[in-house]
Amino acid sequence: MRVFRDTWLLLGRSVRSTLRNPTWVVIGLFQPVCYLLLFAPLLQPLSQVPGFPPGGALTVFTPGLMVLMALFGSITTSYGLLFELQTGVIERFRVTPVSRWALLLGLVLRDVLVVLAQMVLMSLVALLIGARINVGGFFLALALLALLAVCLSSCACALALALKDYNSLAALLQTLITPVMFLSGILLPLTLAPPVLRTIGKFNPFAYAVDAARHLFMGNLTDMSVAQGFGLMAVLMVLALLWGVRSFKRATA
């Protein structure tokens, strides 16, 4: 019960901090909406090409953008965490009886709430411009991407506590994000990629999340890729949480 109480208190602290300065929330929504309005129309001619997934360009592209939002939205908390580490906030928390799980979950769950709210708003925009989204599949996709957001946010926090430097963290995250983004089929489906890239993409866990989300959007709830996506994201989430909690236990300024 103490873990739940501490998590609730720290989550409230994180949410209030975000509401006082919602810049990252607005920026995190603005970029995917720009992709949706400016890049998705370019995919419409490709939707007739052999190998392009069924459902239409918008229905295929929107789930990829949701994964992109989880990818970028879940790592921004690491920069705020670095500030708190360097100013001694984390060290003061560590000398209190507050649960180390709560220290991590208070930040991670805030990221999940923000990212899910952004996804809902972006999906409404997609519906307005012609996307077709299965209602049940949409809510399952939100659950899947919540697992992904928890995983990414936990990893970002662990990296921030390990590196303790803004420049190093930013450089590492950007280096990792670029190949992950292109090899997961976020912008263009991997079915259109050369065989070598499709083979490499099979080792990218984000590709399974993108594939599962696309099938959910189209209503293919029993497709094997959905079970694979949920199973893989659940395992990675648990491992990331354990890494994040261990990092908080060992964190020093």
Token digits of residue 232: 């893989």
- Contact between 35 and 181 under an 8 Å Cβ cutoff? The reply is no
Taking the chain (253 residues) in consecutive chunks of 10 residues, what is each chunk's mean pLDDT?
85 84 76 83 78 81 89 80 81 80 89 90 89 91 94 91 85 85 85 86 90 92 93 95 88 55
| Calpha distance 70→73 (Å, rounded) | 5
Confidence (pLDDT) at 251: 66
| Calpha distance 32→121 (Å, rounded) | 11
Confidence (pLDDT) at 32: 83
Confidence (pLDDT) at 143: 95
How many other C-beta atoms are found inside a 10 Å radius of the C-beta of residue 139? Answer: 11
Can you give the pTM of this predicted structure?
A: 0.89
Query: Whose structure tokens read 């949480």?
Result: 241
- Cα–Cα–Cα angle for 175, 61, 143, nearest 5°? 80
- Contact between 131 and 141 under an 8 Å Cβ cutoff? The reply is no
- Contact between 154 and 75 under an 8 Å Cβ cutoff? The reply is no
| Calpha distance 96→230 (Å, rounded) | 36
For 194, residues 6+ apart whose C-beta sits below 8 A from its C-beta are: none
Distances (CA, A) of 147 to 70, 96, 156: 10, 29, 14
CA 194 to chain centre: 26
Confidence (pLDDT) at 154: 93
| Calpha distance 7→2 (Å, rounded) | 8
Confidence (pLDDT) at 252: 52
Query: Whose structure tokens read 């239409």?
Result: 56
Give the residue from 204, 62, 82, 73 showing the smallest Cα distance to 129.
Answer: 62
| Calpha distance 163→101 (Å, rounded) | 20
